[in-house]
Amino acid sequence: MVSYKDLGLVNTREMFKKAKEGKYAVPAYNFNNMEQIQAIITACLETQSPVILQVSSGARKYADQTLLRYMGQGAVEMMKAHAAEKGLKEIPIALHLDHGDTFELCKSCIDSGFSSVMIDGSHHSFEDNIALTKQVVEYAHQHDVTVEGELGVLAGIEDDVVAAKSVYTQPEEVVEFVEKTGVDSLAISIGTSHGANKFKPEQCTKNEEGVYIPPELRFDILEEIEKQIPGFVIVLHGSSSVPIEAVKIINENGGALKDSVGIPEAQLRKASQSSVCKVNIDSDGRLWMTAAIRKHFIENPTHFDPRQYLGPARVALIEMYKHKNENVLGSAGKA
C-alpha cells in the first residue's frame, strides 16, 4: 500500500475548512494526460490556488492506474520545482477519484496513493447508497483519506456516468445520509449536469444581446440543504460553462458540435460563496483543448509532431484554468 502522504499530496479536509471560511470553492479539474496536468498545475500555481486533481474510472482505463498515480506524484514535484524557480508559495494538491461506483474501485485508489475518493451510490436505493458509502468511509478514514458521497442524480453523459434525467437532491434526506455514512462532503443535484450538452437552446431564454440563458440552478434546494446540515461541505458536479467561443472555434475548424448551453459562470460564482466548497469542471477543458488542436491543424496542415499541436492546447487550458480560479471560483490567492 502507498500512502498519499508519501507522495506529497494532501486530503481535502483542510482545503474545505479554508474554503468555507473564505467563501470560495476549490477547483476540481479532471485530467487524462500530461498536457492537462501540466496546465492545471501551472495555472493553479501561478494563481496561487489549491487544487483537486480528479481521475475518473474512464481515465484509469485510458491511462493506466499506476501511471496516473505517478502523474499525481509528478504533479507535486513539478509544482515544488516551479514554485522554487519562480519564488512562489507551494500550493496544496489532492488526488481524487471522481465517480467511483464500487467499494473495490475506491479501495484500489486509496491503496495506490489517492488522498480523496468519491463513492457515487446515487444509482442505488437510498438505503443501499448509505450502506455502500459507509463501507467506503470506514475503510478510507482508517488511512486518513477523505470521502465524497452523492445524493440526487445529475443528467448527462461523462465517461461511465450516464443518466437520462436529473433527480434533485431531497433536503429532508441529507441529515440521515450524512450522519449514517460519515462522509466528509456531499455532491448534490440542483440543476447542473454532466457533459457538454447540458441545455438545448429551446430550454433557454434569450437576453437583449441574443445570448441564451439557461434555467437558474435550484438555489432554493441548496439553501434548504444548508439549513439541514449547516456548515457541511457541498460539492457541485457538472459545472462546466460550455463556452460559446470554444464551440465556435471547433465548428469553424471542421467540428460539428450541437448548440448547447452550460452553467453560467455568475451562478457558479454565487454557489462558490455559499457552502459549495468544491466545483467540478471537466468539459470546458475538453472543449478548449479540442478547439486549439482543430485550429492548429487547419492553420498548419503539414504538422504531425504532437508537440506542435498539444503545445497550443496546453496554453489554452492554462488560460481557462486561470480564469476559473480568478473570476469564477474565487480560489486565486487562497493557497
Q: Distance between CA atoms of 173 and 159, rounded to whole angstroms?
A: 28
The DSSP H or E segment spanning 67 is helix 65-86
Write the DSSP symbol of residue 202: G
Each residue's pLDDT, cut to its tens digit, for the chain (335 residues) gives 999 999 999 999 999 999 999 999 999 999 999 999 999 999 999 999 999 999 988 888 887 777 777 888 899 999 999 999 999 999 999 999 999 999 999 999 999 999 999 999 988 999 999 999 999 999 999 999 999 999 986 654 445 544 434 678 999 999 999 999 999 999 998 887 655 555 677 777 777 776 777 778 899 999 999 999 999 999 999 888 888 899 999 999 999 998 777 888 999 999 999 999 999 999 999 999 999 999 999 999 999 999 999 999 999 999 999 999 999 999 999 99
Distances (CA, A) of 49 to 24, 256, 275: 11, 35, 18
Catalytic residue selected from 6, 64, 98, 305 = 98
> 50: helix, coil or strand?
coil
Strands (E), the chain: 26-30, 51-56, 93-100, 116-119, 146-151, 156-158, 161-163, 185-188, 205-206, 212-213, 234-236, 276-281
Q: How far apart are the first and last CA of the chain?
A: 29
- Told to judge if 98 belongs to the known catalytic residues of this protein, a careful annotator would answer yes
- Environment class of 168 (CB within 10 Å of its CB; exposed 0-12, middle 13-18, buried 19+): middle
Q: Distance between CA atoms of 80 and 254, rounded to whole angstroms?
A: 40
Query: Which amino acid is it at 49?
Result: S
Q: Does domain 4-329 have CATH number 3.30.70.1090?
A: no
Measured in whole angstroms, the distance separating CA 166 from the mean position of its chain's CA atoms is 18
Predicted pLDDT of residue 179: 97
Report pLDDT digits (tens) over 246-295: 999 999 999 999 877 788 899 999 999 999 999 999 999 999 999 999 99
> 290: helix, coil or strand?
helix
> 332: helix, coil or strand?
coil
Measured in whole angstroms, the distance separating CA 11 from the mean position of its chain's CA atoms is 15
DSSP letters along 5-44, please? GGGT---SHHHHHHHHHHT--EEEEE--SHHHHHHHHHHH
C-alpha grid cell, residue 58: 474512464
Q: Which among 220, 163, 169 is positioned nearest to 197, based on CA atoms?
A: 163
Q: Distance between CA atoms of 301 and 43, rounded to whole angstroms?
A: 29
Cβ proximity of 215 and 262 under 8 Å:
no
Alpha-carbon dihedral sign for residues 47, 53, 59, 65: positive
- What residues are paired with 236 via a beta bridge? 188, 279
Q: Distance between CA atoms of 33 and 314, rounded to whole angstroms?
A: 11
> 182: helix, coil or strand?
coil
Q: Distance between CA atoms of 224 and 137, rounded to whole angstroms?
A: 25
Query: Which amino acid is it at 151?
Result: L
- Which residues lie below 8 Å from residue 239, measured CB to CB, with a gap of 6+? 192, 263, 268, 279, 280, 281
